[in-house]
Structure 1
């Protein structure tokens, strides 16, 4: 089964006096392939602009936007419609025997291809993060999938989710110290912890579909109504598996991947520059709406 869905992603920046703008970069188009396909999309601004599209070094679709006029308000509206098949449940496929133990035994070719996702990126001067990661390897349940699941459940079940307006991502050590953060903080902590015990991991940004919002109800998923972030782990035999520590889910139909990265700074949904007095900035607002239009089956005539 698959769903036909549409997304409207609106970001507004406000200023007290007219300012000028530099180039902006956006990542909002879901990745094609086994997850689904795009049917239509658009990127518009309230001010006159020029839009072009590129593929970056990690095969993410990046939208480049040049703003042609100054203004006191700048709004980006991204719309898309597509078919989403969902991502494979992490436990759906057995891993190879060499991937059952920790650390995972990657082949020389895999090491070559995965080296950027195996090396830790952030500092851990006191070894606190490494020690915390090793605590999930227990004698009686040391299967790699069990280790990942215990870490997923610990972050999602015992940490305190704290949304914030400040840009950027906390360091993993800070998230571990405070036991709190956003979805990006949770994902980055889990990635850097798993890398320290031998897992190849990468950062994923995208959207999370929350069926409760289709009926105007209370959100059932933490992080819905905004962009979302989670983790991919590579296990031989199963491939890249999705883990969302914020909602304690692995795979399923709710996660819609947009961009992959070695670290969060490579996968910022929208970034750019403006020129004016520092005090002119009055803040920003983001609204993401994901609506399921219908459930599709093989006899719908969609070519699935």
Structure 2
């Protein structure tokens, strides 16, 4: 099944007086992958900017924008249209026998390639994240452990959207039992790494059909979203979204993958002026399905 979709991502910063702007970098274009294809994309900024298209060491698309004019407002309008491939309702997937129970037995080649995704990135001074991870091992079956962890986010955590930038430490999210999609994903990644799983952070967009009908959507829809991928021999990199308890990912459109959230920031840059000049920001993300595509070559 293929879906034709369009995404518009508009970010606006406002200032009390004219300020100058440093270089900004954005990650908004989906990654090159078998699950999708880009048809058209554009960037518009105000003030105008010099735009360059590059990629980082993990093959994420990066848009670099350089400004020469000051202003009291800085706006970015990112738009792209693409095709997303997948099959709905696919939650069961085959695993090789060496991946059916934890710890997963990665091959030497896999271990070499996955090492940076297996090794924990953050400190766990009170061992609370490690203890929380081990609490899900009622049985050693890989699929059971992953699903029980998803259930814990749904049943015992409270989604808490916030405007402040950055990602909480796994320990902070665990202690408060609340956070954003980035916080949830980062806690689950670091917990799984302590169980020996190769796990990586994913930033992107969530298509939610409920929004097309004006209904209340899933948490994270209508904004940039974050989840994680776990490498399971026999299945490959599998999506897990602890915010919405999704473990298939048909509606997830990946933009950037990373070892840690700091490598996958949707928009980052600098400005120069008085501290009191900054008045705030607004973000609007629209993910719209344009139709089903029976033959992608006709899109």
The alignment status of 1:250 with 2:247, answered yes or no, reads yes
- 1:214 CA drift (Å): 1.0
CA distance in 1, matches of 2:240, 2:88: 11
CA distance in 1, matches of 2:16, 2:44: 22
CA distance in 1, matches of 2:87, 2:69: 41
Counterpart of 2:128 in structure 1 is 128
CA distance in 1, matches of 2:255, 2:297: 26
CA distance in 1, matches of 2:176, 2:87: 31
Counterpart of 2:233 in structure 1 is 236
Structure 1 297/55 Cα, relative in aligned 2: closer, same or farther at 3 Å? Answer: same
Counterpart of 2:192 in structure 1 is 194
After TM superposition, the structure 1 stretch with the greater mean CA deviation from structure 2, 112-121 or 87-96, is: 87-96
Counterpart of 1:283 in structure 2 is 280
Let me know the Cα RMSD of the aligned residues: 1.4
- 1:73 CA drift (Å): 0.5
TM-score (norm 2): 0.97
Question: After superposition, what is the alpha-carbon deviation per residue over 1:251-271, rounded to whole angstroms, capped at 9, x for unaligned?
Answer: 242100000000000000000
Counterpart of 1:163 in structure 2 is 161
After TM superposition, the structure 1 stretch with the greater mean CA deviation from structure 2, 32-41 or 83-92, is: 83-92
CA distance in 1, matches of 2:203, 2:63: 15
- 1:87 CA drift (Å): 7.3
CA distance in 1, matches of 2:193, 2:87: 22
Counterpart of 1:77 in structure 2 is 77
After TM superposition, the structure 1 stretch with the greater mean CA deviation from structure 2, 85-94 or 6-15, is: 85-94
SS at match of 1:104: coil
The alignment status of 1:182 with 2:169, answered yes or no, reads no
Equivalent residue runs for 1:258-273 within 5 Å? 258-273=255-270
Equivalent residue runs for 1:88-99 within 5 Å? 91-99=91-99
Q: Is the 8 A contact 1:27 1:63 kept in 2?
A: yes
Counterpart of 2:203 in structure 1 is 205
Equivalent residue runs for 1:134-153 within 5 Å? 134-138=134-138, 141-153=139-151
Q: Is the 8 A contact 1:31 1:37 kept in 2?
A: no
Task: List, as ranges, runs of 4+ consecutive aligned residues in structure 1 with deviation greater than 6 Å.
Answer: 87-90
TM-score (norm 1): 0.95
SS at match of 1:59: coil
Q: Is the 8 A contact 1:87 1:255 kept in 2?
A: no
Q: Is the 8 A contact 2:23 2:66 kept in 1?
A: yes
CA distance in 2, matches of 1:214, 1:46: 29
Counterpart of 1:218 in structure 2 is 216
After TM superposition, the structure 1 stretch with the greater mean CA deviation from structure 2, 231-240 or 78-87, is: 78-87
Question: After superposition, what is the alpha-carbon deviation per residue over 1:208-235, rounded to whole angstroms, capped at 9, x for unaligned?
Answer: 001111122222x111111000010001
Counterpart of 1:45 in structure 2 is 45
